[in-house]
Amino acid sequence: MKIHYLLIVLLFLFLVPVPGNGWIINTMRRYYCKIRNGRCAFLGCLAKEEQIGRCSLKGRKCCRKKN
């Protein structure tokens, strides 16, 4: 039974995001952007697109076509 507690603690430590490295948050933001029919742009949205969010902590934008 003690092994189960150790495994849970190790799993928790691997899932806690490291300061400055938000790969879990970035992954969730990219997934949310795709759900909203958007795409992640490196520099900015195109002329016929609107920004609907962000894809990463560093500034990638989530863009989708204007209606």
pLDDT at 21: 62
d(CA 44, CA 42): 6
pLDDT in tens, 18-58: 666 667 778 888 899 999 999 999 888 999 999 999 988 78
60 close to 41: Cβ distance less than 8 angstroms:
yes
pLDDT at 2: 76
pTM for this model (two decimals): 0.63
Helix (H, G, I), strand (E, B) or coil at 41: strand
CB atoms within 10 A of CB 44: 12
Which CATH architecture group holds 22-67? Roll (3.10)
